[in-house]
Structure 1
Amino acid sequence: MKQICLILLNLQIIACCGPAKYLNDGECCSMCPPGTRVFKHCTRNVDATCKCCTDGEYTEQPNSFEKCLSCKVCDHELGLQVQYACTYTDNTICGPREGYFCIDRYCHMGRKHKTCPPGEGVKEKGTQFEDTVCEGCPEGTYSNNDSSTHTCEKWTVCEEIKQKQVTLGTARTDTVCEEEKSRTVVIIAAVIVPVLLIIAGPVLLYLCKKKGKQSKSIDIKHRRAEMGQSPQPADQPLLEKTGCSREKTENSNKDQTAGSSVQIVTADAAYYSETSDSGMGGSKFTWN
């Protein structure tokens, strides 16, 4: 309002004194150029003196101001930022912050751009004076985020990346793919596994039989130990196995008459006979 009044005052002065002049105490003084102000008004003999504006001040037109105008401040809290900084001859120009748009042509305040939810994409991005325009993702596309800049993206085509499809995409999700098993690996496995079984089969069978024999031998030894019998060496004479000896047999036969036969039955049901031969003076052992 103050600026409007000053402008109207200047117009009245110009009408009285002519272009680029202003009236002061009956004297027509020369106006100060843009970027300056009146430091001293003119007198009858001396024209007006001007002084430059300081930082944060400006004058855009020839004027008779005693003070320069203050530069405009762009309020960050109102969604504004400086688009063009103030100079001595131009006022500040404000614009919307990143992600905001101006609600009027003079950009007195900014508003944040609308975001498109999952399932919708940006049809038209927001500008300095227009809000975002959203649209639902059409068939074959999706959007899985809340954004004011992202458009709907196409579903992944699994065949193009040499994978197979697991789940078809939706308006909110992409198609799910997975890698197919290599045919070469399958073929190699089909050949190698049977070969390994053929080679390993006989070896495993031999080891199983050997383990069975060892287990049986150990079981027999345990049974003999439980019955109080001690294992007999394989090369021990049968005479010792029955518990008999030649010396014992000879002693037991001293009281027997000549030509008599004595039978001794052992624990193993083995027996032998001894026949005295008076002609030979000795004994003959016969195992039955």
Structure 2
Amino acid sequence: MGSGFPIPIGGRISPIRLIALLVLNLQLIVCCGPAEYLNDGECCSMCSPGTIVFRHCTTDFGTTCKPCTDGEYIEHPNGLEKCLKCKVCDQELGLQAKHVCTYTRNTICGPREGYYCIDKTCQMGRKHKTCPPGEGVKEKGTQFEDTVCEGCPEGTYSNNDSSTHTCEKWTVCEEIKQKQVTLGTARTDTVCEEEKSRTVVIIAAVIVPVLLIIAGPVLLYLCKKKGKQSKSIDIKHRRAEMGQSPQSADQPLMEKTGCSREKTENSNKDQTTGSSVQIVTADAACYTK
């Protein structure tokens, strides 16, 4: 066997010789260090992470390495001739890349936003459950846990289908100075409305008297002024109709009594002389106020 320890035929090997034989054979089989790999009986140095063997070592030359290319990786020291392919996170399976692949590290997948992993290795993601109206989120979903829902307790409500919203408290109408119309339910909020009647009465009681105090004298003054203007315009129209020249409205209007301003000629004969005498008389222009 080439061990240097002859084995007697038909005899038994002593324990000491057996141990020595095993140690010698072990040295022949396992001769490479922790950073080496065995190739054709030679212990070659391993390539560093991110690289692989381009040419194995020989008696005269050491190991030649080359880097991995895009989409490949090697995480540990190695004596491999091919890099490993990077993992692809399939969005159709609810996954996305949590850590992008590099030459020295594989892709790490995680669940998409709103999804959670169904196992520890996250080979597939599932969408978080949503809580329907009347229920709220008790515990939000995580990367490895689904959403936990609960029914809205008395005094709270939820009116949407959500995986993030909790139950909200009913509105208290008194706190916003309104009156309650409809009490809330597990799905709806309390309905409130403003109390308008009392407000309107108070405003009217204050504003209307103020407006009357301010507007009364102004309206009275405008009415008087309008009456004077109407009277003045009426006098001027009457003067124009009677043929009189326009005068100040302050002067009295003279009305005709039927007398004419026209002069008349009367031919009379002097009784004593018998001659004809022309007498011109003018009718008095008679006017009365």
Same topology, TM > 0.5: yes
**In the alignment, is residue 60 of structure 1 matched against residue 75 of structure 2?**
yes
2: distance between equivalents of 1:178 and 1:184?
13
Which of 150, 165, 168 matches 1:135?
150
Q: Name structure 1 gaps, 5 residues minimum.
A: 1-13, 200-288
**Equivalent position of 1:32 in the other structure:** 47
Are 1:150 and 2:162 an aligned pair?
A: no
The one-letter amino acid paired with 1:155 is W
Once residues 16 and 100 of structure 1 are traced to their aligned partners in structure 2, the CA distance between those partners, rounded to angstroms, is 51
Counterparts of 1:74 and 1:188, CA distance in 2: 69
Q: Which amino acid aligns with 2:172?
A: V
TM-score, L = length of structure 2: 0.60
Report the CA distance between 1:190 and its aligned residue.
5.9
Residue number in structure 2 paired with 1:271:
none
Structure-1-length-normalised TM-score = 0.60
Q: Does 1:100 align with 2:108?
A: no
Deviation, structure 1 residue 188 = 4.4
- Paired with 2:203 and 2:143, the residues of 1 have a C-alpha distance of 64
- Sort the Cα spacing of 1:44 and 1:145 in 2 relative to 1 into closer, same or farther, 3 A: same
Query: CA shift at 1:47, angstroms?
Result: 0.6
- C-alpha separation in 1, matches of 2:187 and 2:98: 38
Q: C-alpha deviations, 1:175-199, integer Å up to 9, x for none?
A: 0001111634213446859x99xx9
C-alpha offsets along residues 126-174 of structure 1, whole Å, 9 cap, x if unaligned?
0000000000000000000011000000001111111111000000000
Structure 1 distance, partners of 2:152, 2:202, is: 43
Please tell me whether residue 161 in structure 1 is matched to residue 176 in structure 2: yes
Give, in angstroms, the shift of residue 15 of structure 1.
Answer: 4.4
Write out aligned runs for 1:119-268 (5 A): 119-181=134-196, 183-189=198-204, 192=208
Q: What is the count of residue pairs matched by the alignment?
A: 183
The reply to whether residue 83 of structure 1 matches residue 98 of structure 2 is yes
Residues 37-63 of structure 1: CA distance to partner in whole angstroms, max 9, x if unpaired? 001011111011001111111111000
Give the CA RMSD over aligned residues.
2.1
Residue of 57, 62, 70 corresponding to 2:85: 70
Rate the CA distance shift 1:15–1:135 in 2: closer, same or farther, 3 A.
farther
The 3-state SS of whatever aligns with 1:17 is coil
Q: Which whole-Å CA distance do the structure 1 matches of 2:40 and 2:178 have between them?
A: 92
How far the C-alpha of 1:113 sits from its partner, in A, is: 0.5
Q: What secondary structure is seen at the aligned counterpart in 1 of 2:145?
A: coil
Give structure 2 stretches of 5+ with no counterpart. Answer: 1-28, 217-289
Structure 1 residue ranges, 4+ long, deviating more than 4 angstroms after superposition: 190-193
Instruction: Work out which of the residue numbers 62, 70, 90 in structure 2 matches 1:47.
Output: 62
Give the deviation of 1:94 after TM superposition. Answer: 0.1
Question: What SS does structure 2 have at the residue aligned with 1:186?
Answer: helix
